[in-house]
Amino acid sequence: MFNWVYETFSLPAALACIGALISAGGALWASHEQNKSQKESETQVVQIKQLNTKILALSEESRVLAKEGIASITGGDGFAYVDILKGFFPGALSPAIISESEYPQYDLSIRFFDEDRNHEEQISQPLILNIATLPPGQSGFHKIPAFDIEKKDDYARFNLFISARNGSFIEELRLRKVDGDWFSAFRVFRNKPTGDKILLMERAMEKYPRAQDRSLIW
């Protein structure tokens, strides 16, 4: 009996037991520290992602502000066009130069070309209207001799070549007489550097003639 007790609780056995307990405690502490370190790393990753998101947001805001600044100087992607009003000037239609833009349109130059008049004469003596600045969403009214329609029968064709600080445009303006009164239609194209044209706008008065499929007759 005493021999069993002595053998069971001998010093080597006790030391081994203590060592096992220390080892187990060390393993638990190491596991705790590892979990703590992992959580700290995960927290740092989240913080870094949040910081990157803020940096990207600031970069996007800076890009938008830069784009807005450039657009306010150049006129952005807006454009100006000519629409027709009646009754302002005797014997002539009144062209209204209108801005279709959130930004001012700068250095406008509009060359009027009557398709039914002598082309060479119009090229050598062009009729040009210059406007320094047209505020956004506003219009200006001008009496233009090119729109004198007293000698027209029932159809008039005008092409307008428009240039501004933000590009060049072509407007096709057509007038047709219906029941003794004139009605207009127009469409505006942006000229691309490649030579292609992009349709920006197409409008017509209600009584302007249309084909059977309701398309405008140009």
How many whole angstroms separate alpha carbon 156 and alpha carbon 153? 8
Q: Calculate what percentage of the chain has a pLDDT beyond 70.
A: 67
pTM for the model stands at 0.66
Q: Is residue 14 part of a domain?
A: yes
Tokens 């009729």 -> residue: 127
Number of domains the chain is built from? 2
pLDDT tens, position by position, 80-128: 998 877 655 455 566 788 888 888 899 999 998 999 888 898 889 888 8
- What single-letter DSSP state applies at residue 103? S
How many whole angstroms separate alpha carbon 175 and alpha carbon 186? 9
The last residue of a domain, from among 74, 101, 122? 74
Residue 28 in this model has a pLDDT that exceeds 70: no
Residue 6 in this model has a pLDDT that exceeds 70: no
121 lies in the same domain as 180: yes
3-state helix, strand, coil in the chain (%, to 5): 35, 40, 25
pLDDT tens, position by position, 59-91: 666 665 566 667 678 878 889 998 877 655 455
How many whole angstroms separate alpha carbon 168 and alpha carbon 200? 12
The domain of 141 spans: 79-204
The last residue of a domain, from among 74, 99, 131? 74
Give the mean pLDDT of 15-20: 64
The last residue of a domain, from among 33, 54, 74? 74
Give the contacts of 145 (CB within 8 A, at least 6 positions apart). 92, 127
Q: Is residue 103 part of a domain?
A: yes
CATH number, domain with residue 190: 2.60.40
CA distances from 13 to 9, 10, 141, 206 (A): 6, 5, 109, 108
96 lies in the same domain as 174: yes
Give the mean pLDDT of 144-162: 81
17 lies in the same domain as 39: yes
pLDDT at 146: 63
Q: H helices within the chain, ranges in order?
A: 2-8, 11-74, 119-124
